[in-house]
């Protein structure tokens, strides 16, 4: 993995980088000695080399069993209990997996990431006709969206297969000691996996939260973990200096740009299957840094698609944007543009070229245009999209996020602001214990 900076070095100079060098060293020390803000949520750093072989085997074994009796596997969860798995599964899957008749693994569908009645009705309509299993994922075990989806699908499964058979098709991933889901899973006798106490939702993709769905989807979780492990080794054994450490570079650049008024970061990809990787990254950075009235606003675009929608704004709108491009060097498949004798579409000048070559030229051309338009550009190059490389990217972005949050002087591991909407919703729905809020809130609507 390589990080390149375009139109960044002329915005700030070496002195500004130097100013951050002692802070970055402190941030490293605090993370590794677990002495900084949010230090009870640093278990994710140890995951790549501490996941046991038994746990991996157990997950693979159950993934195999699920694929023998299920055409569909429903992953119920929201936020960090959903986005990591979806990011990796979408990145590795066939673009049209839903229409692939010769699929060797269950199709992964998602629930509990919204409260849409139409979505859930459509899902149940599909599940009526298919064999399926499900996993319900919630660290707290009390999140409303997945709890609603699980109540519906549990009832549906029990009606479809009978209570006893349904139990074998339900998996639960939650806190090992607390929460309603933990209690329910124990009473019902579901197969459970634990989310370690010291790993927060958005940092949990290397726990069963991500690993079980990824394995069920047919992907190599060992390679994924090994990728994370290799990135951990790279980031922790290299020096912390700006020149040699990509996490240091990314964390410092973001913070300098932010100080200079570049308050919006756009993650850019040129591969549609990275859409949910961007969604995962948005949550990781948005929830980790957006607090105390501070933080870069993370957004995402998929090019070249969005060049025909958001491209205009990026080129000429308010100059508070910078881009982080995840640049994929090699496609996994090959397709060339055919020659056509009539050449009515005037495309013969690129006939014989690979589609990926055209995509790369679009990428280079766009970067130059945006840089000329005053949009600083950070390029993160990866050789290909594979389990190993995605594991590297996941650990890279997690570690750089923790560093960046420490440079911003926030706790990158909490999310106090997420609660505000919940108490309003509970008050409006008349939940016990929210009577006072109900009175106040009804006056406001």
Residue of 379, 357, 355, 353 lying closest to 367 (CA atoms): 379
Binding-residue pattern over the window 402 to 441 for ligand PA5, x denoting contact by CB under 6 A:
-------------x--x-----------------------
Contact 165, 131 (CB under 8 A): no
CB of 162 to ligand PA5, least distance (A): 28
Beta-strand runs (E) in 244-302: 264-269, 297-302
105 binds ligand PA5 (CB under 6 A): no
Nearer to ligand PA5, 79 or 106 (CB): 79
| Nearest to ligand PA5 of 201, 213 (CB atom) | 201
Report DSSP letters for 351-365, one per residue: TTSBHHHHHHHHHHH
201 binds ligand PA5 (CB under 6 A): yes
The C-alpha atoms of residue 141 and residue 178 are separated, in whole angstroms, by 8
- Comparing CB distances to ligand PA5, the nearer of 256 and 403 is 403
| Least distance between ligand PA5 and beta carbon 309 (Å) | 28
Strand partners, 138: 174
CB closer to ligand PA5 out of 170 and 385 = 170
The end-to-end CA distance of the chain, in Å, is 51
Choose one: 44-52, 76-84, 318-326, 330-338; the region binding ligand PA5 (CB under 6 A). 76-84
Please report whether residue 210 would count as binding ligand PA5 according to CB under 6 A. Answer: no
Residue 61's Cβ-count burial label (10 Å; 0-12, 13-18, 19+) is: exposed
Q: Does 264 bind ligand PA5 (CB under 6 A)?
A: no
Q: Are strands 377-382 and 2-6 parallel, antiparallel or unpaired?
A: antiparallel
Select 84 or 302, whichever has its Cβ closest to ligand PA5. 84
**Residue holding tokens 């990026």?**
314
Number of amino acids touching ligand PA5 (CB under 6 A):
15
Pure H helices in 81-116: 83-92
Contact flags string 145-174 toward ligand PA5, x per CB under 6 A: -x----------------------------
CB of 435 to ligand PA5, least distance (A): 25
For ligand PA5, which stretch binds (CB under 6 A), given 194-202, 243-251, 264-272, 347-355? 194-202
297 Cβ partners below 8 Å, 6+ apart? 263, 264, 265, 286, 290
Residues carrying an active site annotation: 287, 308, 422
Report yes or no: 113 and 213 within 8 Å, Cβ to Cβ. Answer: no
- Taking CB under 6 A as the rule, does residue 202 contact ligand PA5? yes
Nearer to ligand PA5, 249 or 415 (CB): 415
The number of C-alpha atoms within 13 Å of 70 and in the hemisphere containing its C-beta is 31
Pick out residues in 269-298 that bind ligand PA5 (CB under 6 A). 287
Minimum gap (Å) between residue 175 Cβ and ligand PA5: 8
Say whether residue 245 binds ligand PA5 (CB under 6 A): no
Distance CA 181, CA 108 (A): 22
Q: Does 140 bind ligand PA5 (CB under 6 A)?
A: yes
Q: Decide: residue 433, CB within 10 A, 0-12 exposed, 13-18 middle, 19+ buried.
A: exposed
Question: What gap in Å lies between CA 271 and CA 269, rounded to an integer?
Answer: 6
Among 80, 246, 298, 412, binds ligand PA5 (CB under 6 A): 80
Per CB under 6 A, the list member of 106, 200, 295, 405 interacting with ligand PA5 is: 200
Give 126 or 180: the residue with its C-beta nearer to ligand PA5: 180
Residue 108, both tokens: 């992964």
81 sits near ligand PA5 (criterion: CB under 6 A):
yes
> Which residues pair with residue 93 across a beta bridge?
none
Phi and psi (nearest 5°) for 142?
-130, 10
Q: Binding of ligand PA5 at residue 78 (CB under 6 A)?
A: yes
Which residues would be at the binding site for ligand PA5 (CB under 6 A)?
Answer: 78-81, 138-140, 143, 146, 200-202, 287, 415, 418
């Amino acid at each position: 993995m390589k990080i390149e900076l375009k139109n960044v070095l002329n915005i700030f100079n070496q002195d500004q980088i130097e100013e951050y060098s002692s802070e970055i060293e402190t941030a490293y020390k605090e993370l590794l000695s677990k002495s900084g803000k949010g230090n009870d949520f640093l278990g994710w750093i140890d995951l790549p080399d501490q996941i046991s072989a038994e746990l991996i085997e157990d997950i693979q074994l159950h993934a195999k069993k699920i694929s023998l009796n299920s055409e569909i596997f429903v992953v119920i969860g929201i936020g960090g209990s959903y986005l990591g798995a979806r990011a990796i599964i979408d990145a590795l899957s066939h673009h049209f997996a839903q229409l692939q008749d010769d699929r060797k693994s269950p199709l992964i569908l998602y629930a509990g990431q919204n409260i849409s009645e139409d979505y859930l009705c459509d899902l149940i309509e599909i599940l009526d006709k298919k064999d399926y299993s499900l996993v319900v994922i919630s660290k707290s075990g009390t999140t409303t969206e997945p709890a609603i989806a699980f109540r519906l699908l549990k009832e549906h499964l029990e009606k479809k297969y009978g209570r006893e058979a349904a139990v074998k098709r339900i998996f639960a991933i939650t806190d090992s000691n607390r929460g309603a889901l933990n209690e329910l899973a124990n009473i019902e006798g579901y197969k459970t996996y634990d989310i370690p106490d010291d790993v927060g939702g958005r940092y949990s993709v290397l726990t069963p939260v991500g690993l079980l769905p990824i394995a069920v989807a047919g992907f190599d979780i060992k390679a994924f973990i090994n990728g994370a492990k290799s990135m951990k080794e790279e980031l922790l054994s290299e020096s912390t200096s700006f020149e040699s450490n990509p996490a240091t570079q990314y964390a410092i650049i973001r913070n300098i740009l932010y100080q200079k008024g570049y308050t919006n970061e756009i993650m850019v990809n040129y591969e549609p299957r990275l859409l949910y990787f961007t969604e995962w990254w948005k949550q990781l950075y948005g929830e980790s840094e957006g607090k105390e009235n501070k933080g870069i606003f993370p957004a995402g675009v998929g090019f070249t698609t969005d060049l025909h929608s958001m491209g205009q704004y990026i080129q000429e709108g308010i100059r508070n944007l910078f881009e982080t491009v995840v640049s994929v060097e090699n496609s996994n498949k090959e397709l060339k543009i055919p020659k056509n004798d009539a050449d009515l579409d005037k495309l013969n000048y690129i006939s014989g070229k690979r589609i990926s070559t055209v995509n790369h030229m679009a990428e280079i051309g766009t970067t130059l245009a945006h840089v000329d338009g005053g949009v600083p550009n950070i390029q993160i190059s990866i050789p290909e999209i594979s389990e190993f490389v995605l594991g590297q990217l996941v650990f890279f972005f997690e570690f750089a996020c923790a560093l960046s949050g420490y440079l911003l002087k926030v706790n990158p591991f909490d999310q106090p602001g997420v609660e505000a909407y919940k108490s309003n919703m509970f008050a409006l729905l008349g939940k016990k214990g929210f009577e006072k809020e109900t009175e106040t809130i009804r006056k406001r609507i």
